Amino acid sequence: MTLQWDDPRFWGDDGTDAEAGYVHRLAVRRTHAGIGLGARLLTWADDRVREAGRSRLRLDVVSDNRPLRRYYESAGFSYLRDVTGDWTAPDGTPQTWSTSLYEREIAEFPGGPIA
């Protein structure tokens, strides 16, 4: 997992970067799945975002990855919108990508909302 302080590619530059941290590439080996490591990594990210004085944790998910979208929704993330773009495959074929943007508010202190 990586935690970034901006993500203009997917989220743009609308001035809300100062409010959020952005999670990318969260992955857990299948041999360690089901023991809560993903949730612990997200909690770690919440703590870093809170320490930086920010109030939101954001991430993006490939739009057609329903299982991963359900996972993040069950972890308290709310769907905001889809973003699409174009890219060229190695064989030169034009392709379109779509990612779904998610966000959750983090507590100022564990167990309490941010004012």
CA nearest to 57, candidates 45, 68, 65, 69: 45
Residue 15 has pLDDT above 90, yes or no: no
CA nearest to 21, candidates 44, 41, 48: 48
- Domain membership of residue 62 (yes or no) is yes
Task: Check which CATH number belongs to the domain holding 96 and give it.
Answer: 3.40.630.30
CA 64 – CA 81 distance, rounded (Å)? 13
Number of domains making up the chain: 1
Query: What is each CA distance from 7 to 12, 53, 88, in whole angstroms?
Result: 7, 17, 21
- Domain membership of residue 14 (yes or no) is yes
- Domain membership of residue 16 (yes or no) is yes
- Domain membership of residue 115 (yes or no) is no
Q: What is the pLDDT of residues 30-89, one digit of tens each?
A: 888 888 899 999 999 999 999 999 999 999 999 999 999 999 999 999 999 999 999 999
- Domain membership of residue 81 (yes or no) is yes
pLDDT of residue 33: 83
Distance of CA 60 to the CA centre of its chain: 5
Q: Which range of residues forms the domain containing residue 50?
A: 2-105
